[in-house]
Structure 1
Amino acid sequence: MFSENIYINTNFESKIDSSDISTDSSAPQKKSEFQKNCCKFSKILLTSLIIYFLLLTILFASALITLFTKYSQLLEEKTVMKELNYTELECTKWHSLLEDKVWSCCPKNWKPFGFNCYFTSSDSASWSESEQKCSSVGAHLVVIHSKEEQDFIPRTLDTAAAYFIGLRDEGHRQWRWVDRTPYNESATFWHKGEASSDNELCVILHHWYNRWGWSDASCSNKQKSVCQVKKMYL
């Protein structure tokens, strides 16, 4: 009986020792794999963070550029609005058969004539820029269809300046008004010898040889201009 006990104890101790050795040898390997995984994860995380911050920087820069562009446009529009002063109306009694419409109105500082209002721009710009300024307040460059209108508009103009009107050549001397109304050759007011150049596609109103009339001019030239808008009835 004594010998059996010794054998059992010895065998038990042998198993414990064997188990301990096996456990100790695998630990460094597992630890090494864990470190490698941690290192890979850290690199991926760092790369992701760098890409994320780069995207944020690009988005932020784009937003700043957009805001700056919008702000510049707003300042330009406010300048135009300030010049044209479209926020106030000047109205006169209108004798109308319509009982609910008793006032005819133009924006403040605009000149009324017939069914329209007219404004003379104080600064110089190209034809396209001039038309854009007019259209920004719901108007367009002046359109002239009668001698009465042609005689009225120059009353407040500077005889030393030239003014773009809403007429231009769309090719092969096909003149067209900006409001798409028909161009009537019998109701035109060209100076003698005008239009004179196939390369001058826009039209100016200016004082020449003691009379106001039209001449063709380069669209890129910087000229003053006259805007026109329909009267409002209240």
Structure 2
Amino acid sequence: MALPNIYTDVNFKNQPVSSGTVSDSSSCTISSSALPKKTTVHKSNPGFPTLLLALLIFFLVLAILSSVGLTTLFHMYSDLLEEKNTLQQLNHAKLHCIKNHSSVEDKVWSCCPKNWKPFGSHCYFTSRDSASWSDSEEKCSHRGAHLLVIHSQEEQDFITDTLNPRAHYYVGLSDTEGHGKWQWVDQTPFNQNATSWHADEPSGNKGFCVVLSYHPNLKGWGWSVAPCDGYHRLVCKMRQLYV
């Protein structure tokens, strides 16, 4: 049976036979059309959705940073405004501060205006000027304070140690309506059992205010009633400033 002829694109080249030697080397040439074709991978450019996502992320980060920055600036402005309002209320150019050992959080120094005396958590100022009770309260208010409110005997002893025994000093206690309803200027409830009246005080049947006065023949310093339009010295009181 005759076999079919099979053709291939292969060329053989015989090497010439040298004398006495037969070369077994041969060369094979394969047509490039018989080799597999190389596949070329084309890189595509970023599409529109990818670019849009990147822009969205950028603007989101920018918005977050802007929000944080605005919040920080707002807090800084609020702190500066509060400090400015406090200083305007105090109306004092200089403060005297001492190391703070109280439980006030994040505060290092407790301060009183210059020429004010500290006691407890408050500052006290004694004026040599004389004025009516209402004008005295206004003078204290301009200093960011109010007329003296006494909460304990220790506080009163501290104040009276600095006073002139020959003068009277307005405190922030009054009964302007004359009904026996005494009222402190800071709205502290009046405690009848925590008073320091002189003997036979309070007296009078019309609106009166209270002064600190010294009676050497009695118990020393105590409270007396006086007409609210009388001219006496004054004592101001304010809370210490913590910084």
So what's the TM-score if we normalise by structure 1? 0.62
Equivalent-residue separation in structure 2 for 1:98 and 1:141 (angstroms): 25
Q: Counterpart amino acid of 2:194?
A: A
CA deviation map 1:102-125 (0-9, x unaligned): 111000000000111000011100
CA deviation map 1:80-122 (0-9, x unaligned): xxxx982210001111445620111000000000111000011
Query: Which residue number corresponds to residue 146 of structure 2?
Result: 140
Equivalent-residue separation in structure 2 for 1:132 and 1:145 (angstroms): 21
Larger Rg: 2
Query: Which residue number corresponds to residue 168 of structure 2?
Result: 162
The structure that is helix-richer by fraction is 1
Q: Counterpart amino acid of 2:124?
A: Y
For this pair of structures, how many residues does the alignment match?
151
- Rate the CA distance shift 1:98–1:151 in 2: closer, same or farther, 3 A: closer
Structure 2 spans left out of the alignment, 5+ residues:
1-89
Matches of residues 1-234 of structure 1 in structure 2 within 5 Å? Answer: 86-98=92-104, 100-171=106-177, 172-208=179-215, 209=217, 211-234=220-243
Q: Secondary structure at the match of 2:161?
A: helix
The structure that is strand-richer by fraction is 2
Instruction: Give, in angstroms, the shift of residue 127 of structure 1.
Output: 0.3
So what's the TM-score if we normalise by structure 2? 0.60
The answer to whether the 8 A contact 2:176-2:209 is kept is no
Q: Counterpart amino acid of 1:185?
A: Q
Q: Which moved more, 1:97-106 or 1:154-163?
A: 97-106
Question: Stretches of 4+ moved more than 4 A in 1?
Answer: none
Instruction: Give, in angstroms, the shift of residue 196 of structure 1.
Output: 1.1
Q: Counterpart amino acid of 2:223?
A: W
Q: Secondary structure at the match of 2:231?
A: coil
Q: Secondary structure at the match of 1:224?
A: strand
Equivalent-residue separation in structure 2 for 1:99 and 1:173 (angstroms): 41
Root-mean-square deviation over aligned CA pairs:
1.6
- Rate the CA distance shift 1:165–1:99 in 2: closer, same or farther, 3 A: closer
Instruction: Give, in angstroms, the shift of residue 215 of structure 1.
Output: 0.4
CA deviation map 1:199-221 (0-9, x unaligned): 35100001012510000000010
CA deviation map 1:148-180 (0-9, x unaligned): 111111111000000000000043110000000
Structure 1 spans left out of the alignment, 5+ residues:
1-83
Q: Counterpart amino acid of 1:233?
A: Y
